[in-house]
Homo-oligomer: A and B are copies of this chain.
């Protein structure tokens, strides 16, 4: 509670410039600069840097300097950093903190950094439901709050520390001093549980009418507050993660992530993609004779593959994002399938007609036109349906619905598209004796 926040404003103005430098410089230079900083300066920047970058910088410092820095950092951020440091350094660093801070950080360390318990700030103001307005205001006045903390809403607990409601600071301030809090507080309060995943925070942030969420433990006791700023950060991180997961990335990559780290995250998924495309390769290979005898076919493979894959990505994007925002729930799968079926059929008719005419006009073969049109039509439907099936399926298996989903969807459209196109072509050749 005795953390020096007085020089806060001056530190923050230089922190932004430092953060930018540290992110953009090569690792060694960033470390050299960081080692020159004072503890308050370090504290100001580690709060703003990506966690992975902060950890890299902190790791290079001795335990006592890390402790001096963490002593000044808000406890939820300190806990997040300690959780990411190597196991063997945690207790020496914790014991370098003031006993009170060490206890608070240790308490937060019990929760996963991606849960409400890990994200919440366990320093907050709460008032008691059996107090008067005056008593509540005195409590708020006495609370050690940073000037940037949001206290528009103050949570109300009972004698057993259980969360029972919320009251706005404005209502407190403008109500008669002797009025019982009971009469003015709002018992309808949205809360998170310590074990809730950060995904749920991102989903509920839009629906919340209050700025921030109270967090309760298993006994419904108020143990912390997820502040709006942290909730927004989490929501932005979740959106970034979904976009990256879809194309086979970790969700944590930024432009300043070092290239060797990026490779370690991207290459395995490219490898998976190569393996899945083996299926498409096998299909094409199976029809090698057909292609050798009718080489014009091959010009249409990229088109069927790309346009089918793109249709799949369109459906996929709607579903993945809808699931992430909580706008789409499991029960919506059937509805989504029906909608995508209609879209796939309609788009397939138009695009099938287009590719059919193109094939006929370019290669002068009605048969090729018909085969290409049929494959395009079917592949539009397959793309749209797999764009729904993959994310709902992944979710059903307890996996993030975005995970590598574009790789799976495009593999399906490649395989089915080629199978239909080359299969029909082979059949036609046999029937017409070409």
A335 touches B299 (CB 8 A): no
Q: Is the CB of B301 within 8 A of A332?
A: no
Q: Could you say which of A101-109, A111-119, A204-212 contacts chain B?
A: A204-212
Q: A327-B255, A350-B267 are in contact. Are A314 and B249 (CB under 8 A)?
A: yes
Interface string of A9-23 (1 = CB under 8 A from B): 100110010000000
Q: Whole-angstrom distance between the alpha carbons of A332 and B148 in the complex?
A: 31
CB of A366 within 8 Å of the partner chain: no
B255, A318: Cβ atoms under 8 Å?
Answer: yes
Q: Which residue of B lies closest to A267 (CB)?
A: B347
Beta-carbon contact of A311 and B259 below 8 Å: no
A298 near B306 with CB under 8 A, answer: no
> In the complex, are the beta carbons of A317 and B243 less than 8 A apart?
yes
**Residue from B255, B259, B310 within 8 A of A273 (CB atoms):** B310
A276 CB → nearest B CB, Å: 8
Q: Does A295 contact B (CB under 8 A)?
A: yes
A285 CB contact (under 8 Å) in B174, B270, B299, B320: B299
- A29 in the interface (beta carbon within 8 A): no
Chain B residues within an 8 Å CB radius of A282? 299
Which residues 398-434 of A sit at the B interface, judged by CB distance below 8 A?
Answer: 406-407, 410-411, 414, 418
New A-B pairs, 15, CB < 8 Å, besides A169-B170, A277-B302: A12-B209, A150-B152, A150-B211, A211-B211, A239-B321, A255-B319, A255-B328, A266-B314, A267-B346, A269-B310, A270-B351, A274-B355, A285-B298, A288-B298, A302-B418
Binding site for B on A (CB under 8 A): 9, 12-13, 16, 24, 137, 140-141, 145, 147-148, 150-152, 168-171, 173-174, 186, 188, 205-207, 209-211, 228-229, 232-233, 235-236, 239-240, 242-244, 246-249, 253-255, 259, 262-263, 266-267, 269-271, 273-274, 276-278, 280-282, 284-285, 288-289, 291-292, 295-296, 298-303, 305-307, 309-311, 313-314, 317-322, 325, 327-328, 332, 335-336, 339, 342-343, 346-347, 350-351, 354-355, 358, 380, 406-407, 410-411, 414, 418
Which 4 residue pairs across A and B have the least CB separation, nearest first? Answer: A239-B239, A285-B299, A280-B302, A292-B295
